[in-house]
Amino acid sequence: YIVLGLALILTYNKPPFALHGTVWLVMIGHLVISLPMSYRIVQAVLEGADFSMLEAARSLGATEWTAVRRVVFPAIAPGLVASALLAFVNSLQNFSMSLMVAPEGFKTLPLDLVGFVFAETGAYSNFNLAAAVSLCMMLLIISALWAVRLVTKQTWFENLNF
């Protein structure tokens, strides 16, 4: 991620795309990191989707938009949610690129966590706050996983083989 951060700084440092020091560069960096993984997941989901159900819905009188909304989208929704969740988690752990391209005063959650732990003087370091924020991050990710399981109507132990 360090090389990507350096490439973004060098690319977007001069006009016509002078984005260095803006929030847009952080968003572009996270997009460049998360997009390939999300693309591969969505591609696999779409390749595994059964589009004959779309043709059946169309032959039964549904409009194309209704057929996509009621037949195709529910079939691919778990893959889309999983892709978004993985992109979110990947973006959460992205510290080095955010450190390089984030503007002054703009803090992402990983930057704040490192700031809590490694303050310039020991009096300002706050390990308890860093631990609390880390716990909140874990609870957020576990809640998102629970929501995915709730939406897909799967149990936690469905895919385990004992």
Res. 116: pLDDT tops 80 = no
Q: What is the pLDDT of residues 36-65, one digit of tens each?
A: 999 999 999 999 888 888 889 999 998 999
Which is nearest to 97 in space by CA: 38, 31, 15? 31
Q: What is the pLDDT of residues 76-102, one digit of tens each?
A: 888 888 888 888 888 888 888 888 888
Q: What is the pLDDT of residues 131-157, one digit of tens each?
A: 888 888 889 888 888 887 777 776 666
Under 8 Å between Cβ of 98 and 33:
no
Question: Tell me, what's the pLDDT at 108?
Answer: 84
User: What DSSP letter does each residue of the chain carry, written as one string?
Assistant: -HHHHHHHHHHTSSTTS--TTSHHHHHHHHHHHHHHHHHHHHHHHHHHS-THHHHHHHHTT--HHHHIIIIIHHHHHHHHHHHHHHHHHHHHT--HHHHHHPPTT---HHHHHHHHHS-SSTTT--HHHHHHHHHHHHHHHHHHHHHHHHHHT--TTTT---
Under 8 Å between Cβ of 29 and 101:
yes
Res. 158: pLDDT tops 90 = no
Question: Tell me, what's the pLDDT at 124?
Answer: 62
What are φ and ψ of residue 104, in 5° steps?
A: -65, 130
Question: Tell me, what's the pLDDT at 155?
Answer: 66
